[in-house]
Amino acid sequence: MTLLQLSSNDLLADRRADYAEMLFGSGEHAAAAELMLGALEIAPKWAMGWFRLGEMQEAAGALDAAAEAWRMSLKLEPADRPGAALKLQLIGAAPASESPPSAFVETLFDQYADKFDHALVETLHYRVPELLTAAIAATGRTHFDHAIDLGCGTGLMGVKLRSAAKRLDGYDISAEMLRKARDKGVYDRLEKADLQELEFAGEAADLVTAADVFMYLGGLDRVFASVMKMLAPGGLFAFSVERFAGEGAFELQASRRYAHSEAYVHGLIAAAGLRLVSLERAVIRQDRREPVEGLIVVTERAA
């Protein structure tokens, strides 16, 4: 995946964009947006510039103008690596979608890979690997012949699973995250895959995990169907979600992550024919210094 074009490739346009960022950082959002628009008059085909203009206009309260900027970003970048479609949904300028653009998720994590571990563990106090590991151990099962770590990222969950798994495979959409995971040396096999489109045809696993993954997928019917293809009879499926306390199945949040309700999770488990082993609420990380509540879930496929 090619990284986002953070420069317009025009020196004058970049200089104006830099000044716009300085104004934005000082709280002068409307002035920043005006200057950014001037940069885009020089470099009108800069998709990331249009996306950033939309963010500045949003902060200035000009939502109609922000929507137009994000639509221009989408026109120039149909794959939508910046995630303009999600921003349009959040301001009510586009219908809700059940999943984010795959290119957005891939680009997000490709760019985040080098600082991922430090940011998540040290800054955001990320706890899902520890919480999931404890929930799995509480079942009394301590050894698995084959474990699959979905959305393995840099391997934070894999490190926890390694001692309990004879064979450990990881799947992730981001090549850069997989590179970092490979450096940890805990996986027997790593594969680049979009979990929204995964067609599994390998050896069945007696443990499948998805740690802090589903908030980037939205609707989970397809991924649950994939899990049922990879999970052996008697196998465990352990996962986490951000908890949605409102009405409905799930919701796109301002963070551009999805939160899922307990009722939706229960429905998915029942529809898949899984047995609920445990479901616990827990603080899974911090976000802007506020605790994020999640659900830590362990299920079992009938033997």
Residue 156's nearest CA partner among 221, 210, 110, 198 is 210
Is residue 3 over pLDDT 80? no
Predicted structure pTM score: 0.90
Interior angle at CA 136, CA 131 and CA 140, nearest 5: 135
pLDDT-based confidence at residue 5 (cuts at 50, 70, 90)? low
Is residue 223 over pLDDT 70? yes
Residue carrying structure tokens 């510039």: 49
Cβ proximity of 136 and 296 under 8 Å: no
Is residue 62 over pLDDT 70? yes
Is residue 203 over pLDDT 70? yes
Q: Please give the mean pLDDT across all residues of the chain.
A: 93
pLDDT at 90: 96
pLDDT at 246: 87
pLDDT at 289: 82
Residue 190's nearest CA partner among 170, 173, 174 is 170
Q: Give the pLDDT confidence of 166-175 residue by residue, as tens digits.
A: 999 999 999 9
pLDDT-based confidence at residue 2 (cuts at 50, 70, 90)? very low
pLDDT at 102: 92
pLDDT-based confidence at residue 1 (cuts at 50, 70, 90)? very low
Q: Which domains does the chain have, with CATH numbers?
A: 11-95 (1.25.40.10), 106-301 (3.40.50.150)
Helix, coil or strand: residue 70: helix
Which residues partner with 167 through β-bridges?
A: 146
Q: Give the pLDDT confidence of 82-131 residue by residue, as tens digits.
A: 999 999 999 999 998 888 999 999 998 998 778 776 767 677 788 999 99
pLDDT at 4: 59
Q: Give the pLDDT confidence of 20-46 residue by residue, as tens digits.
A: 999 999 999 999 999 999 999 999 999
pLDDT at 199: 86
3-state helix, strand, coil in the chain (%, to 5): 45, 25, 30
Whole-Å CA distances, 74 to 39, 55, 79, 88, 218:
18, 14, 8, 10, 20
Q: What percent of the chain has pLDDT over 90?
A: 83
In 10 A of CB 228, how many CB atoms? 17
